Amino acid sequence: TSTEMALGIVFCAPIEEYFFRGILMEPAFRIGEKSKDKFTVWKYSPEKGKPNKEMSYIELGAIVLSSVIFSAFHVNYYNDTRLLLMVFVGGISLSISYFWSKDLTPIILAHFTLNIIFVAQFWMVHGL
């Protein structure tokens, strides 16, 4: 039924995040942290005493690759290029957030919230 499908979409967020961010990206992040070839992605002001946030090309590659695979995984749901682009950008955003925090909990909550919004919008347009 459509209700079961909606619940599946909403509650798949933890599994997807564990796989796409945790399993796919974490090994590359561990390798990338040791890499000497890095670039600055965020400059902190010196008076705050925090170091700049740097990223290796390996970590960047993991973010992009994970997001491409994440988008490909959603092709069956969205046969619309614009929606797939939104999924890709969402994957990039979630991946960067995970790179920054190294914590899946806020990423899972964000993905869960986005899925709830998607299902609510779908129900408002198409009904139950």
User: Tell me: the pLDDT tens digits for 102-124?
Assistant: 999 999 999 999 888 888 887 78
Residue 62's pLDDT is what? 95
Q: What is the pTM of this model?
A: 0.82
pLDDT at residue 82 in the model: 83
3-state secondary structure of 35: coil
Token couple for 6: 């909606």
Residues 6 or more apart whose Cβ sits within 8 Å of residue 88 = 67, 68, 70, 71
Domain boundaries, the chain: 2-126
